[in-house]
Structure formats: structure tokens, C-alpha cells
Chain A
Amino acid sequence: MSDVDVVLVASRIRAEERALLEALRGRGVRHHVLDPRELIIEPTQSPIVDGVALIREISLTSARYTARALEATGSVTVNNSSVIEMCGDKALTALAFARHGVATPRTLVTLSEPAAVQACDEIGYPAVIKPVVGSWGRLVARVPDQETATNLLEHRSQLPGPQHRVTCVQDWVDKPGRDIRVLIVGDQPVAAMYRRSEHWRTNAALGAEPAPCRLTPDLAKLATDAARAVGSGVLGVDVVEDNDGRLMALEVNHGTEFRALQSVTDVDLADAIVEHVLGLVE
């Protein structure tokens, strides 16, 4: 029996959270689930939870505030709020990649519709337009020409909320029908998979098929560097290859889903995560 209590923070129990709970049980770790929807945060110095918090909350907003609140009262969080904020915003991720020299497709960040159109012209067509917040490939668009870019960005400008004025415009990478997901735990790459799809968006959530992928030294280094750039933790790094085989990091996911990766690797991913979490406080 471990002396550490682990609090799994989640409002939705997916296959990943169930696997993590089973891994905690398997190691005899005291644990419970904290649903952020039930949390009433009173700023105080009393610990909100007793133990290390594994943040698996599906909502970026709830994950950020919960992690911040727990940290303010002395709790260890994985991932911590800074990492969550950095990964949850593609503009901040792009800035972190640049600061740490991580290879990534050319990315321009704009704060208005006209600037975004100008950025598309600057990048050249086809260009990829991404909202700074969002996941599972939602609202990510490849625009083939200026007319399409102008139309799409005009639509984006009508969406409620100032966040929609912030846009990432990125070089489109002509990839070989797949990208790569690497799971980083702590500072270590643990496993990787290809995600194959007929569609240029190769998100597992959009139906991409997982396939085993060898963690070559180059892939491991790039993924580790990308994870370190945002602060390290339990992270899913998305990597794309161009047709010349050059590897580039696309983004880092703080609430990484790993059921697809688990289906193509013998590594017990949930147990590796739990081992890392326990190692932070033991």
C-alpha cells in the first residue's frame, strides 16, 4: 500500500480514466475521483485535497482553474496549471516551441480578421487555419486560396467571444497520409503510434487508424524537446513528417487520450503514468 493519496480530477470517466483508476487499484494506491463540477473553491490556505492531483479534466477551463486552486493550497498537480495553459493555447505553444528551438511548421499568430488574411497570404496556399483553443481537429481548416481564406475568416469573425479573433495560420505540410503521436511521461518518451487517415486531419477522434511506430532517436528527441518546451508532464506530442521525412512537432496535448496508443503497444501506459505520479511525491 502506497502512503500517497492520488486524486484523479475528472468530470468524465473515459477509457483512459478507467485504466488509470485500475492502475491505481492494482498498485494499492489510495485514491478518489474529484469532479470539478462539484468543486466550490474558497481561496484559503487549507489544502483542498490531501495528495497529488492527476488532472484529467476534459474541459480546459475547468482543468486550469482546478489545477490553479489545488496548487495555491500546496498540492502537487500533474499536469500543472502552467503546462495546461501552455498546451491549451496553440499560440502559446507556438511561442514556446520558438523559444526552445523545436522544429515546427511555420506558424503566424494574428489577433484580427484582416491580419489573419494577410498572414495566409504571407504563408502561401494552401495554408492551415487553427483556432488557438480546441481539440480533436475541430474547426481546423485547410484553405486553398485567398478567397476561401477570406470567407472562412469572415465567418470566424462573427463567432461570439474575443478568443475567436485569435488565429494560428500555419504552413500546410504535405504528409504521407499519417502523423505520429508520442506519449511523454515525465521527461521520457514511452510509446508512439502512427495515425493513418485518408483525410489530411489525422486525429484519432476523427477516425484515424492507429498503427505501431518505432521510437527512433530523432522522434524521441523531438517529442521530448517539444514536451520540455511546454514544461513537461504527461503529454501527447503530435509530430508530422513531410514528404522528405523531416519531423516537426505540431502541438502538445495536456489531457492526452491514450486508448488508441494502448491498442498498438505492449507498454502499460496507465501504469507508467501512475508510476510517474507517485514518483513525484514519494
Chain B
Amino acid sequence: MSTVACPDCAASVPVPGEALVSEILVCRECDSELEVVGVDPPLLARAPEVEEDWGE
């Protein structure tokens, strides 16, 4: 388990060892949705906003 600074509030966000690129994590401090954009080393970015054509 690594920690990465939240791109929004700078709080430490735990990134599980089994995290995959394109998975979404949520910052416990600010509730921001964060996308895993790298795993070695772990990198987080703000997740894209939900679009109108997203879904099932």
C-alpha cells in the first residue's frame, strides 16, 4: 500500500498494491473521485466528470 497526495486537497490517499490503471479511488478527505493513471510509481489524477452518454 502506497500513499499519494490528492490532486485536489493534498491529503494522503492510500493506493492499494493491486490497484489497476483506470480504476477510481475516492479521497476520504475531500470526496474527490481520483483516477489511477500510473501504478509504478502510483499516480493519481482527477477523474473525468460523468458524461451524458455514460452508463450501462
Contacts and interface: CB of A to CB of B under 8 A. Distances in A.
Interface string B16-31: 0000111110000000
A223 to B, nearest CB: 15
Mostly helix, strand, loop or mixed at chain A's interface?
loop
B55 to A, nearest CB: 2
A33 B35 CA distance: 15
A138 B21 CA distance: 27
B22 A10 contact: yes
Nearest to B56: A253
Interface in A1-43: 10-14, 18, 21, 33, 35
A256 interface: yes
B52 interface: yes
B55 A255 contact: yes
Nearest to A11: B22
A136 B53 CA distance: 10
Contact of B54 (A35, A59, A256): A59
25 contacts: A12-B35, A13-B20, A13-B22, A13-B23, A13-B24, A14-B24, A18-B20, A33-B20, A33-B21, A35-B22, A58-B54, A58-B55, A59-B51, A59-B54, A60-B53, A60-B55, A133-B52, A135-B55, A136-B56, A138-B52, A138-B55, A253-B56, A254-B56, A255-B56, A257-B56
